[in-house]
Amino acid sequence: MLVTLKKILQKAHKEGYAVGAFNINNMEICQAIVRAAVAQKAPVILQTSEGAIKYAGIEYLKAIAEAASNEKIPIALHLDHGRDIETVKACIKAGWTGIMYDGSHLPFEENVKNTKKVVQWAHKKGIGVEGELGTIGGAEESIVSRKIIYTNPEAAREFVRRTGVDALAVAIGTSHGAYKFEGAGRLDIHLLKTLKEQLKIPLVLHGASGVPASLVTMAARYGAQLGKPEGVPDDQIAIAVKNGINKINTDTDIRLAFDAAIRKFIAEKPEDFDPRHILSPARELIQQVVEHRMKLFGSDGKA
């Protein structure tokens, strides 16, 4: 069933686990995530980036998520890194149940002003809003690269008080994409503890993909050229959940699983060009990856 971001995160906040937020771009990815959530009896957030909306179209993504919401588990439909105000408004109008407004690239006052406006529009419809303060590193479709600027706890307190956001994305050392660290991947757990103490709302970890070696090896074996990718180790994710993260974003691991499974199928069955045969192993592998992460986040059995 489709529920609000606020509702799904409030329970996680109260009970001390994290809900997985997974990026969808097409039907198969959405099905894999929802099948994993059903298998693990886990609440789940399906999120669409502006790039996904541009690629698939808002109506298609809405229809896919609506079909998914026939399942009995709680599902939120969330805009990921909304920066364009027209897209934010379109998602609110179309029935998204959560909105991230990402003003992290703006000066503090402008971020406050824009986020507050989005909160006012969204709250009128009962939709929760995630804000971002500090900058998470790495690459997204619209951003080539940026340095991590760790979230300042005092600024965060003021940001939350003045904007009324329901959840906050914090920068504690992660980056988007497959190249997060050089050397041991560690998060600033001390900073997370301080933020948790000072903020009484759910905290969100972006750039949280684990970049599992098994997926990298599989993709590379069938021709992917990935260099030396590095993700957030599972033990760091577990510590982050223990110390107050309630929403964890994953996209890169889904992309890696999709890529590895398709490459393998095509290499092993060069005579088969049926898209259903090509995409089925990708859907199955993504489901396995998502189920593993749900258990890691402690959201299994919480639906």
Positions marked active-site: 80
Of the residues 6, 116, 206, 302, which one makes contact with ligand 13P according to CB under 6 A: 206
Q: Which residues 6+ apart lie within 8 Å of 103 measured at CB?
A: 83, 110, 111, 112, 114, 115, 131, 132
Neighbours of 291 (CB within 10 A): 20
Choose among 251, 250, 274, 252: nearest CA to 262.
274
Q: Which stretch binds ligand 13P (CB under 6 A): 1-9, 85-93, 143-151, 205-213?
A: 205-213
Residues 110-149 close enough to bind ligand 13P by CB under 6 A: none
Select 166 or 253, whichever has its Cβ closest to ligand G3H: 253
Asked if 36 and 291 count as a contact pair (C-beta separation under 8 A), the reply is: yes
Binding flag, residue 52, ligand G3H (CB under 6 A): yes
* For ligand 13P, the closer CB: 124 or 147: 147
Residue 14 to residues 17, 37, 82, Cα–Cα distance (Å): 8, 20, 27
Task: Determine, following the binding rule CB under 6 A, whether residue 177 of this chain makes contact with ligand 13P.
Answer: yes
Q: Which is nearer to ligand G3H, 10 or 142 (CB)?
A: 142
Contact 112, 151 (CB under 8 A): no
Q: Which is nearer to ligand G3H, 118 or 303 (CB)?
A: 118
Residue in the structure block whose two tokens are 């940001």: 159
Q: Which does 167 bind (CB under 5 to 8 A by kind): ligand 13P, Zn ion, ligand G3H, none?
A: none
Interface with ligand G3H, residue 247, by CB under 6 A: no
212 lies in the site for ligand 13P, by CB under 6 A: no
**Choosing among Zn ion, ligand G3H, ligand 13P, none, which partner's interface includes residue 209 (Cβ < 5 to 8 Å by kind)?**
ligand 13P
In the complex, the smallest distance separating the C-beta of residue 170 from ligand 13P, rounded to whole angstroms, is 12
**Distance (Å, whole) CA 171 – CA 294:** 22
- What Rg value do the Cα atoms of the chain yield, rounded? 18
Contact between 180 and Zn ion by CB under 5 A: the answer reads no
206 sits near Zn ion (criterion: CB under 5 A): yes
Contact predicate 165/177, CB 8 Å:
no
- Could you tell me which of 7, 31, 29, 28 has the C-alpha nearest to residue 19? 7
- In the complex, the smallest distance separating the C-beta of residue 192 from ligand G3H, rounded to whole angstroms, is 20
Cα–Cα separations (whole angstroms), residue 200 to 32, 91, 137 = 33, 27, 25
Q: Does 252 bind ligand 13P (CB under 6 A)?
A: yes
Which residues contact Zn ion (rule: CB under 5 A)?
206, 249
Which residues contact ligand G3H (rule: CB under 6 A)?
23, 49, 51-52, 80-81, 140-141, 176, 251
